[in-house]
Amino acid sequence: MWEVIKKYDKRWHILILALFIAVAVILFRNNGISEKEQAPMLTTERMLQEAEEKQKEEARPKMIVVDIKGAVVRPGVYEIKDTARVNDVVAIAGGFTKEADQTKVNLAAKVHDEMMIYVPARGETNVSSIDSPAISSSESNKVHINTASEEEILRLSGIGPAKAAAIIAYREEHGPFKKAEDLLNVTGIGEKTLEKIKEQIVVP
């Protein structure tokens, strides 16, 4: 009788061991599949995180350097965020002096790196307030497209109120024009219009 019990007892041990091994194999395989499935998910998540971080980095304001001269309390070179406007630079420089001709300065213009802002005194003539060197006599009657008022821009051939407003809106949003061809980016300005006004404007 005892021999029979021992015989069955051994069988139960073998059965339990086999069952344990089977469960272990199944769990191991499931774990392997899970890791394989998770790998592309983790890679995609990492790529999304990196793209989001890059986007945040690009959106973060950068520091630029501008030079402000003329009728301000503290003329000089200042470091400021690239999202700033001329008004912000004037404020950093201590504001206008009593002699400043504020009508000659576009305070809403966006600043850019290495920009030079000149604030003229009342009575000064033929002086551009932004990014302009000394003006020759041949240019004195031309329109400085980066600083001109709407009234001055309307003097250009083929430019009406809508186009003048579009030019001002574009330079305030994107900064000063670097070359005459940049005007083609303005709504309503085509090749023919540019040819008409090219000799009538001054662009740094």
Per-residue pLDDT tens over the stretch 50-73:
777 777 666 677 888 888 988 999
Distances (CA, A) of 19 to 3, 12, 14, 25, 27: 24, 10, 9, 10, 12
Question: 192: closest CA among 158, 163, 142, 154?
Answer: 158
CA distances (Å), 136 to each of 48, 68, 107, 147, 169, in order?
55, 22, 25, 17, 28
Q: Residue 119's Cα: distance from chain center in Å? A: 26
What pLDDT shows up at residue 132?
44
pLDDT at 126 exceeding the cut of 60: no
Q: What is the pLDDT of residue 45?
A: 72
Predicted pLDDT at 162: 92
Task: Give the residue with greater pLDDT, 198 vs 130.
Answer: 198
Cα atoms found within 13 Å of the Cα of residue 203, Cβ hemisphere only: 18
Retrieve residue 35's tokens.
């890791």
Q: What is the mean pLDDT of the chain?
A: 76
The pLDDT value recorded for residue 124 is 73
Tell whether the model's pLDDT for residue 8 goes beyond 70. no
Q: Which residue has the higher pLDDT, 141 or 34?
A: 141
Reported as a single tens digit per residue, the pLDDT across 171-199 is 888 888 888 899 999 999 999 888 988 88
* pTM greater than 0.75: no
Higher pLDDT among residues 128 and 40, named by residue:
40
Q: How confident is the model at residue 4 (pLDDT cuts 50, 70, 90)?
A: very low
Per mean pLDDT, which range of 3-7, 26-30, 138-142, 150-154 is the poorest? 3-7
Half-sphere exposure of 85 (CA within 13 A, CB side): 9
The beta strands (E) that lie in 52-132 are given as 63-70, 76-81, 115-119
